Amino acid sequence: MTLKTLTQLSSLLGSGEISSLELTQDYLHRISQSDLNAFITVDEAMALQQARAADAQRAAGDNGILLGVPVAHKDIFCIEGMKTTCGSKMLDSFVAPYTATVIANMNQHGLVTLGKTNMDEFAMGSSNESSYYGNVANPWGDSSKKLVPGGSSGGSAAAVAAQIAPAATGTDTGGSIRQPAAFCNLTGVKPTYGRCSRYGMVAFASSLDQAGPIAHSAEDAALMLNSMTGFDHRDSTSLELPAEDFSAELDTPLQGLKIGLPDEFFGDGLDPEIATLVEAAVKQYEAMGAVIKRVSLPNSELALPSYYVIAPAEASSNLSRFDGVRYGHRSEQHDDLVEMYMRTRAEGFGAEVKRRIMIGTYALSSGYYDAYYAQAQKLRRIIANDFNRVFEECDVIMGPTTPSTAFAEGGKSDDPVAMYLNDIYTIPANLAGLPAASIPVGFNSDNLPAGLHLMCPHLQEARLLNIAHQFQQETDWHLKPAPAAWVSGDE
């Protein structure tokens, strides 16, 4: 199927060529014909009702740019009256009593909710294989050789890549928007920490979690971001800033742009085919007037180990609320309260979540706190300082998003460290709170996509999207549709 961007759909709606109801019905039909397991919940009645309301609003003269555009939401966002599982058995029966601010903001813009997408359990993972609701297929693979879509926002990425949703929300704690975007030939943006409210988003590691868009193009991602962001007094880390139009700088020419290429991102462990694609993308930027500088982020190798102390520590604290009393699953078999807690958590959580809780609880325990958590926080500061220094001499830092392309299902599930290494290039931006994106830069010899990773100084999302968009004006990698095999009726 020819690829349609969110921007194209928005203009079809604007010109009246298609109604939101027709568009929403089309996507709901495509979802029902797809074989990816990308969605956990689809509420057709709610989607159609929102679409009709959007059409009525348009008929009454509202011409909001996103009014009536259907999108999918990662099942980590609460939506009032809808099941919110976070990919876990623990929340299998949890119906959210309120709506996350990010989703409420998008609803205000008239976006229609197609459904909730599959994800790694509690957003812990890089392959979507830790979901209680089963694996998600990457539309760039085939059924004889199933490839992972990446994670944890794997359902969102697979849905957009297979065009069963034009765009989707994701969240990114260590790479969960950008890594699946790279694996599925999409544009994924993790905003500056604090841009999107975390209210109503199930917490994994609160000092790192950030919502963002997964879309085909930077132009689409900018529109999505415009609808998602904004100050929220219900999130104490929400940034109180004037509203910003992230599309405003898209067309700025890149003449004189200073690109930093850190040596540390091109060393051992990087698939040589990805290195070649990234180098070609950098050449393209040079041809567009950019200047390339070799730079160094000398403490990059400390990012992964510090993340795997900080994220599990915060997770072990956040996940203590799932006790069988306040939310979700409660074990049937218990004689007393302590046994009820223990069995509930033993039954409700999967293996990866338990591993993180154990690591985190250990790291925070008395006598170990200074050796692990406090130490990791110091490293985080050192890593952030490295970025500040490099940004004194360049506007954007580029490198590969991931060390490999999408891998086979089961390929890394027995080896947590190999799985964790997927995020080696993405985690530093989370630790430093920086805005970062992954954009498509072509395909390897197996026709699998690779991503270019871009990082900008704090709050420079508009610049980041400008840099991404200008590349997408000169290349068409992002417009290559995934093979049609996953939606019956497609050719």
In this chain, which of 423, 428, 436, 452 binds ligand GLN, going by CB under 6 A? 423
- Name the residue nearer to ligand GLN (CB basis): 153 or 344: 153
Is 74 considered catalytic here? yes
Q: How many CB atoms lie within 10 A of CB 446?
A: 12
- Name the residue nearer to ligand GLN (CB basis): 431 or 454: 431
Reading the block at residue 221, the tokens are 């991602």
In this chain, which of 68, 175, 213, 348 binds ligand GLN, going by CB under 6 A? 175
* 113 belongs to the binding site for ligand GLN (CB under 6 A): no
Tell me which H or E stretch contains 190.
strand 187-190
Minimum CB distance to ligand GLN, residue 332 (Å): 31
- Name the residue nearer to ligand GLN (CB basis): 209 or 386: 209
Minimum CB distance to ligand GLN, residue 204 (Å): 6
* Cα 336 from Cα 354, distance rounded (Å): 22
Q: How many residues bind ligand GLN (CB under 6 A)?
A: 13
* Cα 151 from Cα 157, distance rounded (Å): 9
Is 11 considered catalytic here? no
Report CA-CA distances (Å) from 490 to 1, 3, 128, 168, 274: 6, 12, 25, 21, 30
Q: Which of 10, 34, 127, 176 is catalytic?
A: 176
Sign of the CA dihedral running 457, 233, 209, 212 = negative
* 173 belongs to the binding site for ligand GLN (CB under 6 A): yes
Whether omega for the bond prior to residue 152 falls within 30 degrees of 0, making it cis, is: yes
Sheet holding 210-215, edge to edge: 39-42, 112-117, 70-74, 168-172, 210-215, 187-190, 436-443, 449-455, 396-400, 258-262, 291-295
- Could you tell me which stretch among 41-49, 171-179, 252-260, 366-374 binds ligand GLN (CB under 6 A)? 171-179
Reading the block at residue 230, the tokens are 């904004």
Q: Which of 152, 156, 217, 300 is catalytic?
A: 152
* Cα 453 from Cα 259, distance rounded (Å): 12
Is 247 considered catalytic here? no
x/- mask, ligand GLN, residues 350-389, rule CB under 6 A, reads: ----------------------------------------
* 123 belongs to the binding site for ligand GLN (CB under 6 A): yes
Reading the block at residue 21, the tokens are 């109801």
Stretch 186-215 residues interacting with ligand GLN (CB under 6 A):
204
- Name the residue nearer to ligand GLN (CB basis): 262 or 312: 312
Nearest CA among 204, 196, 220 for reference residue 71: 220
x/- mask, ligand GLN, residues 303-322, rule CB under 6 A, reads: --------x-----------
x/- mask, ligand GLN, residues 138-167, rule CB under 6 A, reads: --------------x---------------
* Cα 108 from Cα 111, distance rounded (Å): 8
Nearest CA among 95, 109, 116 for reference residue 50: 109
Residues that bind ligand GLN (CB under 6 A): 123-126, 152, 172-176, 204, 311, 423
Catalytic residues: 74, 152, 176
